[in-house]
Structure 1
Amino acid sequence: LAGVGTQTGLVTQIIYSGYVSGEFDWTLPTASLPVGAVFGVERREQDYERVSDTVYEEGQLLGQGGPSPSLYGAIDVNEVYGELQIPVLDNLNVSTAARWSDYSTTGSDTTYSIGVDYTLADTYKFRTSFAKVVRAPNVGELFAAQSIGLWSGADGCAGDPAAADAADRPTYSASQCANADVSASQYGSIGESPAGQYNQLSGGNPALQPEEGETLTIGVVASPFENFNFSVDYFKIEIEKVIGTVGAERILNNCAETGDEFFCNNVSRSPSGSLWLGQAGFVTNLSDNIGGRTWEGIDATAAYSIDLENASLKFDINGYYSMKKEVEPILGDATLAYDCAGNINTDCFASPKWRHTSNVSYIRDDWRVGAKWRYYGAIDYDGDADVSLVENGGIGSYSFIDLSGTYSYNEHVTFT
């Protein structure tokens, strides 16, 4: 038997906006330029619809795990905002901005920012900014249909404690499994899923709150001598109440190990204690405001050009150094936090601490030849699932070199 399932999505957004901008008819006594401003209002209406056909609606696809019903949701946002550009001195500017947003789903929030830049002798420009940021949950995160599906892993309470093979015994004790909704009579009689797949209830959560965060940047832009310029910027971004899912297996394991209601209230077993036979037993893994994220690093750029006889030579480099890429799966529980900067494992996508792109170009008349160098630093591996990564200790640094050349025959024809 074979079948085709189809889901169709449609997003409609309507935006009404208006603003006024200009300069005030006054200046600070210490500056020669007037204060500038922008004030505006905006309304956004967004509708999202996902239509499932009968195959999806009834959960007929192999591995689907359960029905995937159609989805509809809408969000309306009303906003008022303002920005000021304030010359304090002729070489010192302060910029401020604020925005009030009222969401039909999560209520109102206020965001703001302040920035300062100072120019020294037309050669160096120092800049810094601070902002409070908010991201409201989108339509899918709020209204995605809740349905039973499958997750891959293991139930640490499945198995027979008297089994001869240790691999067939439960990972957790009877008291730990009692935290995970396993009764004394069920312990030792719960079978493992032969496919390693178990039920989870996933989908949107209308009770979601906005993500909240703060950003800080400090940097310098400079042109210390002719044909050379560079910039260096430090940044730090901290986000709380990050919207995501804890993960069904993590919920199950943390419940057994800690007995914390935050996890254990999301474990619902069938009368037999199973999490995979039928759909009566499952782990609830809905979208939630679950954790925190911190990014900290340095962006750097530099460019230099040399004028030659009838030609020119240009160099540039753009680099990024990752100081921290920390993930806190459960907000407030530092014991679960991990740093992905320079690491790769089951929780971290490959993320080198240093990477850069550099270009060199030689230009003469209608000819141009160049080379691009893309470099990615070494990445450590602290897991045990990938044998090759274990043997090598991670991924070594690597480079890509791209060579190019162009010839402009005339203004209409160019060969590459």
Structure 2
Amino acid sequence: MILSTLASRVVTNTAGNTRAFNGATDQFNFAPLNLYQRPSERYGFSAYANYDLNDKTNLYSEFSFHDDRTIAQIAPSGLFFGNRTFNINFENPLLSADWRRDLGLVRAGDSAATFIGRRNTEGGGRQDDIRHTSFRTVLGVKGEFAKIWNYDVSMQTGRVIYQEVYKNEFSFARAANALDVVAGPGGAPTCRSVINGTDPNCVPYNLWIVGGVTPAALRYIQIPGFQSGETAQTIASANISADLGEYGWKLPTAKDGVGFSAGLEQRTEKLGLSNDVAFQTGDLAGQGGPVLDTNGKYTVKEAFIELRAPLIEGASFAHLLSVNASYRRSDYSINQKTDSYGFGIEWAPVQALRLRGSYQQAARAANIHELFDQQAIGLYNNSSDPCAGTVPTATLTQCQRTGVTAAQYGNIIDSPAGQYNLLGGGNPNLKPEVSKSYTLGLVIEPLKNLSATIDFFNIKLDDAISTLPSPIVLQQCLASGAFCNLINRDSIGSLWAQPSAFIVATNQNIARVTTAGVDVGVNYTHKLPGNGALAFNLNGTYLTKNESEPIPGTTYDCVGLHGTVCGVPSPKWRHKFRTSWMTPWSLDLALTWRFIDKVDFEG
């Protein structure tokens, strides 16, 4: 498909005859070449060592190595309309009379700035060769002192090396050369860059007839892209714990004393990504735009304390009544401080029945990827742009909120593939997200070998670190004027044709996310005289609410749904049921059944 200022045309035969583009029959079906399941290779190695210095001191170490490689494939690259225009000249000997007419090339010296939309069907799908290599080491010492105190001091380092080779991409610069064709010696179609010496390797790219693209042209235009990156983590931690009952810290109504633990931790995170020139300059036609190098680092220092106090034990109305509390302070080098704390209570009127409840307020600062991942142009799916087409479904006033001018209204070409640009990636200005969670549960042990649990939970997350779905951004801007600052249209008013067109979808602090549901668990063991035992274990979750509130008063409940707005599936019910046979021959056999409830597409 060729898109000029005069017409939208497709070629029909080897003679170069053209006709009008028909979206129903000419649109490229990109789905069949996308791999749902990718080939992969994985290797891993782990080693553990322990050494007792004495009966109270243990040295320990861990080392692990993992390497994985996978090759992803998506639809072919190509020239995607408004990524940029190409100057097509009257002198190009590959042009038929139809093409010269369609492009408005009347006489020698004429040229047309032309958008070209054509997939590289001859070259096959784009392949992304991805490899991760990771190392992790731990060195520590743990033990006890003064009879009741336990300690653990350790140092941990981790590193992940990332390598990517992106194959079968088109080079914009080479495509421009290969489309700038003139008559060479003997009248043969020749790249202008060959004649003037700026690129003697250029081969003409003949998309003006059916079957005109040669293997030599593909070898010239197709180039790879290279990326490499690394994440690193260093953790130093120390913690102590004790039963303070030995010091008399216990109530007269309880048998056990107050449990205490506290600790310090310092964690440093680093991230870096390097790109080759093709990625950095945006020369790869199928990448949406430039992908720049990025680096980031932060350090967090934390301190925590936890207490557990039995209040009553062994009474007629309380086999056990206990409370617990915790507090954590985190200080980040990126000028953020967070506080997390929680309280809980547990009451067992009899040994076979236990009630429990808790409240927690926790704060989480953004991780290294949420902060510093590179920002780059990607794609999102939508049925249409309400402001595109000759008869837009949105009004002029609504569309002007999104950046459409009065002159563009009714003249914007919609994406033929239903795909539009977004700007994704990290955001170094993220605030910590804060959660408030409530749980209420019941534990029943009616028989010696049977136990069951049920826990109701409700979690409210304010300033949640997430992304705003691009269709919702567009919808809210049209309806109320919210989020309009996130919408950027290009010079022709589109949301897809050029790299300057995109909706900002970087990580943000959205208003609120609320999740609620029920966790259930059942455990049963049945002895087989002389043949070991059978164990049955069921763990499941019933989700009643999964609401996102990007702006106050506007909620989207994604339970049982998936799609552009909801993202990953949120099934109402999921469980894992495991049956194990513990044989008397030092051999265990297990069978696991995992079930995930169906979900519907939100549309």
- Alignment TM class, shorter chain as reference: 0.7 to 0.9
Q: How far apart are 1:351 and its partner, in Å?
A: 3.9
Aligned partner of 2:60 in structure 1 is none
Asked if 1:49 is matched to 2:272, the reply is: yes
17, 24, 38: which is aligned to 2:261? 38
Over 3 Å counting, the alpha-carbon distance change for 1:205 and 1:321 in structure 2 is closer
Aligned partner of 1:306 in structure 2 is 526
Q: Relative to structure 2, which stretch is displaced further, 188-197 or 342-351?
A: 342-351
Aligned partner of 1:108 in structure 2 is 337
Aligned partner of 1:354 in structure 2 is 573
5+ unaligned residues in a row in structure 1: which ranges? 161-168, 385-416
Q: Relative to structure 2, which stretch is displaced further, 311-320 or 228-237?
A: 311-320
333, 341, 358: which is aligned to 1:129? 358
Asked if 1:81 is matched to 2:304, the reply is: yes
Contact 1:106 1:209 in 2 (8 A): no
Q: How far apart are 1:380 and its partner, in Å?
A: 5.7
Q: How far apart are 1:199 and its partner, in Å?
A: 3.3
Code of the residue aligned with 2:440 in structure 1: it is I
Structure 2 distance, partners of 1:128, 1:21, is 24
Over 3 Å counting, the alpha-carbon distance change for 1:76 and 1:371 in structure 2 is closer
Aligned partner of 1:194 in structure 2 is 416
Structure 2 distance, partners of 1:362, 1:43, is 44
Structure 2 distance, partners of 1:368, 1:37, is 37
Q: What does 1:309-324 align with in structure 2 at a 5 Å threshold?
A: 309-312=529-532, 314-324=534-544
Structure 1 distance, partners of 2:570, 2:345, is 32
Structure 2 distance, partners of 1:143, 1:70, is 10
Over 3 Å counting, the alpha-carbon distance change for 1:86 and 1:199 in structure 2 is same
Q: Relative to structure 2, which stretch is displaced further, 237-246 or 188-197?
A: 188-197
Structure 2 distance, partners of 1:356, 1:159, is 47
Structure 2 distance, partners of 1:65, 1:348, is 21
Aligned partner of 1:203 in structure 2 is 425
Q: Deviations over 1:367-387 (max 9, x none)?
A: 87765444444x363655xxx
Q: Relative to structure 2, which stretch is displaced further, 303-312 or 30-39?
A: 303-312
Q: Deviations over 1:76-97 (max 9, x none)?
A: 1111211112121222221111
275, 292, 298: which is aligned to 1:69? 292
Structure 2 distance, partners of 1:239, 1:55, is 40
What secondary structure is seen at the aligned counterpart in 1 of 2:474?
helix
Q: How far apart are 1:272 and its partner, in Å?
A: 3.5
Contact 1:246 1:329 in 2 (8 A): no
Over 3 Å counting, the alpha-carbon distance change for 1:370 and 1:250 in structure 2 is closer
Question: What is the aligned-residue RMSD (CA, Å)?
Answer: 2.6
Q: Deviations over 1:390-413 (max 9, x none)?
A: xxxxxxxxxxxxxxxxxxxxxxxx
Aligned partner of 1:156 in structure 2 is 386
Contact 2:243 2:257 in 1 (8 A): yes
Q: Deviations over 1:328-373 (max 9, x none)?
A: 1414233x42231x34555364444333333445666548776544
Aligned partner of 1:403 in structure 2 is none
480, 494, 500: which is aligned to 1:258? 480
Q: Relative to structure 2, which stretch is displaced further, 193-202 or 229-238?
A: 193-202
Structure 2 distance, partners of 1:275, 1:356, is 42
What secondary structure is seen at the aligned counterpart in 1 of 2:224?
coil
Asked if 1:295 is matched to 2:515, the reply is: yes
229, 247, 250: which is aligned to 1:9? 229
Q: What does 1:240-251 align with in structure 2 at a 5 Å threshold?
A: 240-251=462-473
Contact 1:294 1:324 in 2 (8 A): no
Contact 2:257 2:310 in 1 (8 A): yes
What secondary structure is seen at the aligned counterpart in 1 of 2:400?
helix
Code of the residue aligned with 1:187 in structure 2: it is Y
What secondary structure is seen at the aligned counterpart in 1 of 2:550?
coil
Over 3 Å counting, the alpha-carbon distance change for 1:300 and 1:293 in structure 2 is same
Over 3 Å counting, the alpha-carbon distance change for 1:348 and 1:287 in structure 2 is closer
Structure 1 distance, partners of 2:423, 2:438, is 38
Aligned partner of 1:181 in structure 2 is 403
Q: What does 1:314-393 align with in structure 2 at a 5 Å threshold?
A: 314-334=534-554, 336-340=555-559, 342-346=560-564, 347=566, 349-360=568-579, 365-366=584-585, 372-377=592-597, 379=598, 381=600, 383=602
Over 3 Å counting, the alpha-carbon distance change for 1:365 and 1:382 in structure 2 is closer
Q: Relative to structure 2, which stretch is displaced further, 109-118 or 22-31?
A: 22-31
What secondary structure is seen at the aligned counterpart in 1 of 2:475?
helix
Q: Deviations over 1:181-236 (max 9, x none)?
A: 11222212222233444333332222211111112222222322232222222222
What secondary structure is seen at the aligned counterpart in 2 of 1:265?
helix
Structure 1 distance, partners of 2:256, 2:231, is 45
Contact 1:316 1:358 in 2 (8 A): yes
State TM-score, norm by structure 1.
0.80
What secondary structure is seen at the aligned counterpart in 1 of 2:476?
helix
Over 3 Å counting, the alpha-carbon distance change for 1:183 and 1:307 in structure 2 is closer
Contact 1:96 1:114 in 2 (8 A): yes
Contact 2:325 2:341 in 1 (8 A): yes
Aligned partner of 2:42 in structure 1 is none
445, 457, 474: which is aligned to 1:235? 457
238, 260, 272: which is aligned to 1:18? 238
Over 3 Å counting, the alpha-carbon distance change for 1:12 and 1:66 in structure 2 is same
Structure 1 distance, partners of 2:481, 2:282, is 33
Aligned partner of 1:387 in structure 2 is none
What secondary structure is seen at the aligned counterpart in 1 of 2:225?
coil
Q: Deviations over 1:36-69 (max 9, x none)?
A: 2222222111111111122221223332011111
Over 3 Å counting, the alpha-carbon distance change for 1:36 and 1:363 in structure 2 is closer
What secondary structure is seen at the aligned counterpart in 2 of 1:141?
helix
Q: What does 1:393-408 align with in structure 2 at a 5 Å threshold?
A: none
Structure 1 distance, partners of 2:423, 2:595, is 42
Over 3 Å counting, the alpha-carbon distance change for 1:348 and 1:137 in structure 2 is closer
What secondary structure is seen at the aligned counterpart in 2 of 1:51?
strand
Percentage of matched positions with identical amino acids:
33
Aligned partner of 2:374 in structure 1 is 145
Aligned partner of 2:442 in structure 1 is 220
Structure 1 distance, partners of 2:488, 2:570, is 36
5+ unaligned residues in a row in structure 2: which ranges? 1-220, 314-319
Code of the residue aligned with 1:288 in structure 2: it is Q
Q: How far apart are 1:71 and its partner, in Å?
A: 0.9
Structure 2 distance, partners of 1:202, 1:306, is 53
Code of the residue aligned with 2:488 in structure 1: it is S
